[in-house]
Chains A and B, each alone.
Chain A
């Protein structure tokens, strides 16, 4: 009997997917592990692969059509088998997942949901990698889970590790394997205090949705800019944004109350410091996350940021790479924007809007002086952060950027 191939859940926020391309035609033989279709989700384009052998006896969702997660998109059966489809699938409601889980389709890059994800991602099952790929990843301190396997059944092979290494040469080739000090930890659930509850309610009444408040600070960037020169001397490329990411992360580690997210009836206290970075892509933007940014060196952050941005533009990010984090950084400095305010990307509690670094006349010791100045505006979710807390955070961030030596402590 033919079994349905369902629209897989390819990202935590995916509700439906559009078939952009069928890689297999009706009547074609399919073997387990083969990519059968390309699906466009709300975030990126991913391939789906068959988990069983058989023949593609019926395609119910044509190219260009969408179907909700869980709805049948095709049927797998014996050669020549006929399948009657009563209702057009694209509009059909998601079929309830059978407990026996006849899922024939898994994402080629299965996405284990990171801890703060709002919705569970599909179960990844075992990770497959060639012995060589495992050894290379281990030697270079790469996390295999972060790699895309291009071999049969998603097996991670040498070329996948090499691709990851060439994209992120700094942490891989030069720096010793990165060992996070704290490791990945589950966030802690904190019940709302009565006051917090009232603040949250009232702020949301005044400003429905996520009640934003804004704080702006001017930062003298002369010392931070010197870091870039130091980096150049070490043949490493570090951008202003990399330094801001690092400083924002270290400041967050020192202000743990900023590292929270609002969850309706409770607040999550996050243990790891994960910083999102807004990347403009064609027709939108996406916010890949640098995990444990407070623990990473500038060159690691720089390499990772470059690599994530590059793949974001190709729409090749994995769902777990743009999920999570408590803060994001939006930088329009390269466009010459002096200052702006940014909209928080839920469930984040805040976002930093970073302007351009430009020479400006400022008063120093009672005298006019020219300094490289940069405006940073924090947008905070008032349900979980108050003005004074945000101000303390910005003060720390400013101090770290103006005296970047402090990032070492």
Chain B
């Protein structure tokens, strides 16, 4: 299987879906002539022309609304947000229109649209540009929210999202775009709503998504040397949550650590903990611990930025705590 970058995997997904379905088009800031702020849309303008790869003005609310309208009349827009920090401006279109049209029209209208772009800290971009905002979107019924960690999942999930009949919010990892991984060529679909056991283990379940998966993997490798076997469940989809997979894994390991980049308060991880306590109460051997970004605004200084985010050491310490390892 060829090894390609996360951004290339997304590019493949877009190109394949645009080829497969004439209704699919891409709109966003710098997606055309500039080939994408993160080069996800490289070569697409050349291939599909400016009617289907549309450079928008800097107006998130405006082009998000254009996308919603296009979806209502039967097109399948992919709306690229340069980052999800900027999509806050488009919140009204996403949550008040895209998420609700099907319900409010009694099923007469559909909104098959994908809003996609990077989330999370990018590296010294300070507080306004370093936010992991997935819990904002996961809050709303009517939206699906996905956050793939690997290039293969990124491709397979974007393709599934484009074909989905509902609005999908896809939060990509800003720091994952250059990450390489094996990606199947051609048709590769990853179903939405299905978590993936990325690593089998028996002592503890690390539940996570997106970039935090890699910290979990580092922690799991380190813990393995100490005789602790950690399972990693990559949620991939944050709404709807794969409750079955979460409960099954915790029933197996009896302990869970939930890792997310965002803030602790009202985070997606809090919802995961609720799923665990209601679905696996009798199987829990320790309180579930969350490892999250610190409850502060992101600093510009690199050392503080790192200290604010979860890392492998913090995750390993949490694992030892739920395992009652002495000194933790």
Residues of A that sit less than 8 Å from B by CB: 130-135, 150-152, 157-159
What are 26 contact pairs spanning A and B, CB under 8 A? Answer: A130-B284, A130-B285, A130-B286, A131-B281, A131-B282, A131-B283, A131-B284, A131-B285, A132-B254, A132-B282, A132-B283, A132-B284, A133-B285, A134-B282, A135-B282, A135-B283, A150-B324, A151-B286, A151-B324, A152-B324, A157-B285, A157-B286, A157-B324, A158-B254, A158-B285, A159-B324
Distance (whole angstroms) from the CB of B275 to the closest CB of chain A? 15
The total number of A-B Cβ pairs within 8 Å is 27
Prevailing SS type, chain A contact patch:
helix
Q: Binary interface profile of B, 294-328, with partner A (CB < 8 Å = 1, else 0)?
A: 00000000000000000000000000000010000
A387 to B324, CA, bound (A): 56
Distance (whole angstroms) from the CB of A191 to the closest CB of chain B? 49
Distance (whole angstroms) from the CB of B93 to the closest CB of chain A? 44
Distance (whole angstroms) from the CB of A64 to the closest CB of chain B? 25
Most chain A CB within a 10 A radius of its CB, from B281, B285, B324: B285
Distance (whole angstroms) from the CB of A159 to the closest CB of chain B? 7
A133 to B283, CA, bound (A): 8
Please, which residues of chain A bring their CB within 8 A of the CB of B285? 130-133, 157-158
Residue of B nearest to A151 (CB): B324
Distance (whole angstroms) from the CB of A149 to the closest CB of chain B? 10
Please, which residues of chain B bring their CB within 8 A of the CB of A133? 285
A135 to B283, CA, bound (A): 8
In the A-B complex, the 4 residue pairs with the smallest Cβ-Cβ separation, listed nearest first, are: A158-B285, A132-B285, A135-B282, A130-B285
A130 to B285, CA, bound (A): 5
Please, which residues of chain A bring their CB within 8 A of the CB of B283? 131-132, 135
Please, which residues of chain B bring their CB within 8 A of the CB of A158? 254, 285
Residue of B nearest to A129 (CB): B285
Please, which residues of chain A bring their CB within 8 A of the CB of B284? 130-132
Distance (whole angstroms) from the CB of A28 to the closest CB of chain B? 14
CB-CB contacts below 8 Å: B237-289 with A: 254, 281-286
Residue of B nearest to A159 (CB): B324
A277 to B264, CA, bound (A): 55
Most chain B CB within a 10 A radius of its CB, from A131, A134, A135: A131
Distance (whole angstroms) from the CB of A29 to the closest CB of chain B? 14
Please, which residues of chain A bring their CB within 8 A of the CB of B282? 131-132, 134-135
A151 to B284, CA, bound (A): 13
Distance (whole angstroms) from the CB of A133 to the closest CB of chain B? 7
A157 to B285, CA, bound (A): 6
Distance (whole angstroms) from the CB of B249 to the closest CB of chain A? 14
Residue of A nearest to B281 (CB): A131
Distance (whole angstroms) from the CB of B284 to the closest CB of chain A? 5
CB-CB contacts below 8 Å: B30-88 with A: none
Please, which residues of chain B bring their CB within 8 A of the CB of A150? 324
A130 to B286, CA, bound (A): 6
Please, which residues of chain B bring their CB within 8 A of the CB of A159? 324
Please, which residues of chain B bring their CB within 8 A of the CB of A152? 324
Distance (whole angstroms) from the CB of A100 to the closest CB of chain B? 31
A132 to B288, CA, bound (A): 13
Extra pairs beyond A135-B283, A157-B286 (20, CB < 8 Å): A130-B284, A130-B285, A130-B286, A131-B281, A131-B282, A131-B284, A131-B285, A132-B254, A132-B282, A132-B283, A132-B284, A133-B285, A134-B282, A135-B282, A151-B324, A152-B324, A157-B285, A157-B324, A158-B254, A159-B324
Please, which residues of chain A bring their CB within 8 A of the CB of B286? 130, 151, 157
A380 to B281, CA, bound (A): 52
Please, which residues of chain A bring their CB within 8 A of the CB of B324? 150-152, 157, 159
A158 to B322, CA, bound (A): 11
Please, which residues of chain A bring their CB within 8 A of the CB of B254? 132, 158
Please, which residues of chain B bring their CB within 8 A of the CB of A157? 285-286, 324
Residue of A nearest to B251 (CB): A132
A131 to B284, CA, bound (A): 6
Residue of B nearest to A139 (CB): B282
A131 to B281, CA, bound (A): 6
Distance (whole angstroms) from the CB of B187 to the closest CB of chain A? 43
Please, which residues of chain B bring their CB within 8 A of the CB of A130? 284-286
A158 to B285, CA, bound (A): 6
Please, which residues of chain B bring their CB within 8 A of the CB of A131? 281-285
A292 to B30, CA, bound (A): 81
A133 to B324, CA, bound (A): 14
A108 to B299, CA, bound (A): 44
A217 to B283, CA, bound (A): 53
CB-CB contacts below 8 Å: B127-145 with A: none
Residue of A nearest to B326 (CB): A150
Distance (whole angstroms) from the CB of B253 to the closest CB of chain A? 10
Please, which residues of chain B bring their CB within 8 A of the CB of A132? 254, 282-285
Distance (whole angstroms) from the CB of A136 to the closest CB of chain B? 9
A158 to B283, CA, bound (A): 10
Distance (whole angstroms) from the CB of A231 to the closest CB of chain B? 34
A152 to B287, CA, bound (A): 11
A135 to B251, CA, bound (A): 12
